């Protein structure tokens, strides 16, 4: 019997690639690197080198606040699309996405809160998943 579920790594890579494409389409700037890591029903995402030339210019001329307000509004408008792409790739409902961006460092961080961990071929590879599953067993079922 084969397990048709994707691996944790496959889902994380897919989300990273889709986020790069979304940011390229919406901001004109493709993040150089995207790191995704599931932690039980949470997904941490770090996007590196996300600052657009326009944002960099605003920062250079001392308008950091305007650049940050612009980025905040951009990310707010992209939130529904971000949630949809995570839900599609992970096949799991997203409760919310929290984000924070430091334009001077060119880094953005997202935390997606999922209703439940994604169904993957290798569930033991998701930190905390194994621990939670072990604690849910009755004493008779616990591994020796």
pLDDT digits (tens, 9 = 90+) for 10-48: 999 999 999 999 999 999 999 999 999 999 899 999 999
Residue 79 in domain = yes
Domain that includes residue 35, residue range: 8-116+123-136
And the tokens for 44? 């941490």
Q: What's the total number of domains in the chain? A: 1
In a domain, 1, yes or no: no
Q: Are 46 and 107 in contact (CB under 8 A)?
A: yes
Residue 25 forms part of a structural domain: yes
Q: Could you tell me if 108 and 50 are in contact, meaning their C-beta atoms sit under 8 angstroms apart?
A: yes
Task: Look up the CATH number of the domain holding residue 75.
Answer: 3.30.980
Per residue in 36-89, pLDDT tens? Answer: 999 989 999 999 999 999 999 999 999 999 999 999 999 999 999 999 999 999
């Amino acid at each position: 019997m084969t397990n048709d579920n994707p691996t944790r790594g496959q889902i994380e890579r897919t989300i990273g690639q889709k986020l790069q494409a979304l940011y390229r389409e919406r901001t004109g700037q493709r993040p150089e690197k995207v790191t995704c890591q599931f932690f039980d029903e949470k997904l941490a995402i770090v996007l590196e080198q996300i600052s657009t030339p326009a944002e960099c210019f605003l920062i250079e001329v001392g308008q950091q606040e305007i650049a940050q307000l612009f980025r905040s509004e951009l990310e707010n408008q992209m939130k529904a699309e971000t949630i949809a792409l995570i839900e599609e790739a992970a096949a799991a409902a997203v409760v919310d996405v929290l984000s924070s961006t430091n334009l001077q460092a060119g880094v953005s961080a997202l935390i997606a809160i999922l209703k439940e961990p994604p169904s993957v071929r290798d569930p033991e590879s998701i930190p905390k998943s194994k621990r939670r599953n072990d604690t849910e067993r009755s004493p008779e079922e616990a591994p020796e």
